[in-house]
Amino acid sequence: MLAALISRVLRRVAQKSAHRVLVASRNSSNDATFEIEKCDLYLLEEGPPVTTVLTRAEGLKYYRMMLTVRRMELKADQLYKQKFIRGFCHLCDGQEACCVGLEAGINPSDHIITSYRAHGMCYTRGLSVRSILTELTGRRGGCAKGKGGSMHMYTKNFYGGNGIVGAQGPLGAGVALACKYKGNNEICLTLYGDGAANQGQIAEAFNMAALWKLPCVFICENNLYAMGTFTERAAASTDYYKRGNFIPGLKVDGMDVLCVREATKFAANYCRSGKGPILMELQTYRYHGHSMSDPGVSYRTREEIQEVRSKRDPIMILQDRMVNSKLATVEELKEIGTEVKKEIDDAAQFATSDPEPCLEELGHHVYSSDSSFEVRGANPWIKFKSVS
């Protein structure tokens, strides 16, 4: 049974690998046109384009961003094993094309909310590697002052990082409601995983978003495994892009940053035109287990992971495209790699040496905009001052 499932996945992986090195027509040394995979459509007459132009500048930017996310996640893995990071740590290496591609398809003034596998998105939304790693190590220089950790990082127009599976569905629809209410032409990308797709509240969010025509792009990041449960073991229908029922959907190759970008642009335009919500399924893969406490090989094979790494790695796909179309040289990309390594190492150095928040701050931020008050500690004689 398991063997049959795995072979099905491998077949799907092998099919996709044929598209990896696509036809590139060089228009100039500054940009190139690439063919991208056609998206399966649901309740849509037409979908995103099947070719796209990538400029050299964009290519270098996406490459740098994806490599930064990759290296940052690997550094987090290392820090976790060294016990600098404790608690939950859900890594997204393998899924870099999703966060980078989504950001490339929207404006900074648009909004994003996602699940706990959020480090990559925190970076693409504007948080520095330093503030992310320092939050992971729980120090005062972290973006949430050490009080949130891996799953609760926030920045402008980014609402986390949510620990409860599926809760971000309605939250994102609510952000979209605010966008419509204010009439500011902004949209909200509401991400959830293949596991969360089975939450009732996701269906409730779909219903209300469609009913009220909220400018919400629901995005199912399907990495095939909800913790240790393969999609086919959890869902009666694994066509996640059709599960919006009355909401149009697209199935997108989530390992190709250009495919993600074009699909996102298409979906964003759809929402901005007032037609209501739309659903995107990003087919992607995570190399790590569900979290750092999961080796990730009891419910899938090492061969499968290796297959994806060698045939569908998102960074490799972009690298090959850029080098083959002479948008960049191998040396240039190596140079970027060196710079990224330095950035990550510096950030890790800071993250492991920054002091922890002082105990006096334990009671802070209980309430917003309030005058300070006392919070009871572990016994009646220990009190903490709480400042907003």
Q: At what angle do helices 96-105 and 56-81 cross, to 10 degrees?
A: 140
Does residue 375 belong to the site contacting other proteins (CB under 8 A)?
yes
> Cβ of 302: how many Cβ atoms within 10 Å?
10
How far apart (Å, rounded) are the C-alpha atoms in residues 206 and 221? 16
Does residue 28 belong to the site contacting other proteins (CB under 8 A)?
no
Does residue 173 belong to the site contacting other proteins (CB under 8 A)?
yes
Does residue 201 belong to the site contacting other proteins (CB under 8 A)?
yes
Does residue 160 belong to the site contacting other proteins (CB under 8 A)?
yes
- The span of 55-63, 89-97, 271-279, 373-381 binding other proteins (CB under 8 A) equals 373-381
- The span of 59-67, 115-123, 221-229, 366-374 binding other proteins (CB under 8 A) equals 366-374
Does residue 145 belong to the site contacting other proteins (CB under 8 A)?
yes
- DSSP states of 23-50 as a string? -EEE-SSSEEEEE-PPPEEES-S--S-S
Between 296 and 357, name the residue whose CB sits nearer to other proteins: 357
Q: At what angle do helices 56-81 and 129-136 cross, to 10 degrees?
A: 20
DSSP designation for 277: -
Read off the amino acid at residue 196.
A
**Contact assessment for residue 121 and residue 112, using Cβ atoms and an 8 Å cutoff:** yes
Does residue 85 belong to the site contacting other proteins (CB under 8 A)?
no
- The span of 11-19, 176-184, 294-302, 306-314 binding other proteins (CB under 8 A) equals 176-184
Q: How far is the CB of 388 from other proteins (least distance, A)?
A: 7
Bridge partners of 26, per DSSP, are 32
Q: How far is the CB of 369 from other proteins (least distance, A)?
A: 4
Does residue 174 belong to the site contacting other proteins (CB under 8 A)?
yes
The helix/strand/coil state of 229 is: strand
User: Which one of residues 71, 111, 286, 288 is an interface residue with other proteins (CB under 8 A)?
Assistant: 111
Q: Burial letters for 355-374: b for 16+ Cβ neighbours within 10 Å, e otherwise?
A: eebeeebbbbeeeeeeeeee
Does residue 108 belong to the site contacting other proteins (CB under 8 A)?
no
How far apart (Å, rounded) are the C-alpha atoms in residues 189 and 217? 5
Does residue 169 belong to the site contacting other proteins (CB under 8 A)?
yes
In the shown chain, the binding pattern of residues 204 to 233 toward other proteins, with x for contact by CB under 8 A and - for none, equals xx-xx--xx---------------------
Does residue 89 belong to the site contacting other proteins (CB under 8 A)?
no
Q: How far is the CB of 366 from other proteins (least distance, A)?
A: 5
Does residue 142 belong to the site contacting other proteins (CB under 8 A)?
yes
Site for other proteins in 283-342 (CB under 8 A): none
Between 83 and 182, name the residue whose CB sits nearer to other proteins: 182
User: Which one of residues 5, 40, 163, 323 is an interface residue with other proteins (CB under 8 A)?
Assistant: 163
Q: Which long-range contacts (CB under 8 A, 24 or more apart) does 51-59 make?
A: 52/258, 52/261, 52/262, 53/27, 54/258, 54/321, 54/322, 54/327, 55/30, 55/31, 56/29, 56/30, 56/31, 56/327, 56/328, 57/30, 58/104, 59/318, 59/321, 59/322, 59/327, 59/328
**Contact assessment for residue 249 and residue 43, using Cβ atoms and an 8 Å cutoff:** yes
**Contact assessment for residue 284 and residue 222, using Cβ atoms and an 8 Å cutoff:** yes
Q: How far is the CB of 135 from other proteins (least distance, A)?
A: 9
Between 14 and 178, name the residue whose CB sits nearer to other proteins: 178
Helix, strand, coil in percent for the chain, rounding step 5: 45, 15, 40
- The span of 8-16, 38-46, 149-157, 243-251 binding other proteins (CB under 8 A) equals 149-157
Residue ranges binding other proteins (CB under 8 A): 111, 113, 142-148, 152, 154-155, 159-160, 162-164, 167, 169-179, 181-182, 188, 200-201, 204-205, 207-208, 211-212, 364-370, 373, 375, 380, 388
